[in-house]
């Protein structure tokens, strides 16, 4: 005799897990759905997500053959409203996609781009992965921790200097490799690149952000805010053609990145085409 495999969906998962309090990404066990519902949201969703957000959510759903595929962009959409994925944001996504809160929670707590606490106007990510760390990334991160906090109380990972969502507030995080090792050490602000950083440049950058300025990134789109970047990550771009063009046509390459390809071209080096390369033997079992 085989036991029935539980079908994913609200009837199954909502009765087993629910996201915990407003300031944590711990998933709590809540066997009683009524208890779970009480934990998840106390604010009516309509008070947070207006008609425009509902319309955008439906727009996202229409882009995929299966509605649940819209979950990742929809989480960015709720972040563009609140500056983080709140319990209400989780409930909103679940409601729109006919998923359980637990299913949405499981995704939101897996990816570091989904923030579980309110973010600052700007998110500053310092790469502290191996190459950037060796090139000064660790020192830059430590410098920003004390510059945005204090010697006695350095700002911690994912903590905010200033009041979240208020102008000039900055959330600091250390990040894994940001895929720009040839330009190390790098920082991102709202996921836009600032290459070849030093402690001095990084301090000047956050000082400018706190003063309400929007320094131009080394590459990519002009700087907006964390919420603005989240709306674009959700898949919604400026309708004004000039602003849209400035965003998508920003410089995307760096001299350092093209150096290898240029040397190969000058020297006539080519990679063997795939058909010239014998395929490895497949081990027989």
Beta-bridge partners for 174: 126
Binder of ligand FES out of 14, 20, 180, 202 (CB under 6 A): 180
Beta-bridge partners for 123: 171
Q: Degrees (nearest 5) of the Cα angle 55, 69, 231?
A: 45
Stretch that binds ligand FES, among 57-65, 71-79, 172-180, 243-251 (CB under 6 A): 172-180
Query: Which C-beta is closer to ligand FES: that of 247 or that of 256?
Result: 256
Instruction: Measure the CA–CA gap between 100 and 93, rounded to whole angstroms.
Output: 9
**How many residues sit close enough to ligand FES to count as binding (CB under 6 A)?**
12
CB atoms within 10 A of CB 25: 17
Stretch that binds ligand FES, among 36-44, 94-102, 179-187, 196-204 (CB under 6 A): 179-187
Tell me which residues in 80-139 interact with ligand FES (CB under 6 A).
Answer: 127, 129-132
First to last CA, the chain: 32
Cis peptide before 185 (omega within 30 of 0): yes
For residues 144, 148, 151, 156, the Cα torsion angle rounded to the nearest 10 degrees is -80
Residue 133 Cβ vs ligand FES, minimum distance, rounded to whole Å: 7
Q: Mark residues 204-243: x for contact with ligand FES by CB under 6 A, - for none.
A: ----------------------------------------
Residues 6+ apart with CB under 8 A from 218: 183, 193, 194, 195, 196, 254
Binder of ligand FES out of 106, 177, 203, 254 (CB under 6 A): 177
DSSP code per residue over 60-116: HHTTSSSGGGGHHHHHHHHHHHHSS--HHHHHHHHHHHT--HHHHHHHHTT-TTS-S
What are φ and ψ of residue 115, in 5° steps? -90, 135
Query: Which C-beta is closer to ligand FES: that of 129 or that of 171?
Result: 129
By the rule CB under 6 A, 178 interacts with ligand FES: yes
Tell me which residues in 135-164 interact with ligand FES (CB under 6 A).
Answer: none
Stretch that binds ligand FES, among 8-16, 59-67, 166-174, 175-183 (CB under 6 A): 175-183
Query: Which C-beta is closer to ligand FES: that of 182 or that of 247?
Result: 182
Query: Which C-beta is closer to ligand FES: that of 130 or that of 262?
Result: 130
By the rule CB under 6 A, 186 interacts with ligand FES: yes
Token match 């430590």: residue?
142
Residue 259 Cβ vs ligand FES, minimum distance, rounded to whole Å: 16
Residue 126 Cβ vs ligand FES, minimum distance, rounded to whole Å: 9
By the rule CB under 6 A, 181 interacts with ligand FES: yes
Residue 252 Cβ vs ligand FES, minimum distance, rounded to whole Å: 16
What are φ and ψ of residue 17, in 5° steps? -135, 150
Binding residues for ligand FES, rule: CB under 6 A, are 127, 129-132, 177-181, 184, 186
């Amino acid at each position: 005799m085989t036991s029935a495999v539980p079908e994913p969906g609200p009837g199954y998962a909502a009765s087993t897990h629910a996201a915990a309090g407003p300031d944590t990404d711990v998933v709590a066990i809540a066997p009683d759905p009524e208890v779970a519902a009480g934990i998840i949201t106390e604010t009516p969703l309509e008070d947070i997500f207006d008609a425009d957000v509902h319309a955008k959510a439906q727009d996202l759903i229409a882009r995929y053959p299966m509605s649940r595929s819209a979950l990742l962009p929809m989480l960015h959409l709720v972040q563009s409203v609140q500056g983080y994925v709140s319990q209400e944001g989780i409930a909103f996504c679940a409601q729109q996609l006919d998923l359980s809160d637990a299913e949405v929670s499981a995704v939101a707590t897996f990816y570091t781009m989904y923030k579980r606490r309110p973010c600052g106007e700007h998110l500053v990510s310092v790469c502290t992965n191996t190459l950037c760390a060796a090139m000064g990334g660790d020192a830059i991160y430590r410098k920003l921790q004390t510059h945005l906090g204090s010697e006695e109380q350095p700002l911690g990972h994912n903590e905010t200097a200033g009041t979240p969502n208020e102008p000039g507030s900055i959330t600091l995080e250390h990040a894994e490799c940001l895929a720009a090792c040839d330009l190390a050490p790098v920082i991102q602000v709202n996921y836009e690149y600032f290459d070849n950083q030093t402690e001095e440049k990084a301090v000047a950058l956050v000082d400018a952000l706190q003063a309400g300025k929007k320094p131009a990134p080394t590459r990519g789109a002009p700087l907006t805010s964390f919420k603005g970047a989240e709306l674009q990550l959700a898949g919604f771009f400026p309708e004004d053609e000039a602003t849209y063009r400035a965003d998508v046509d920003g410089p995307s390459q760096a001299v350092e990145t093209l150096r290898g390809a240029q040397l190969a071209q000058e020297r006539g080096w080519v990679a063997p085409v795939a058909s010239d390369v014998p395929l490895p033997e497949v081990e027989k079992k």
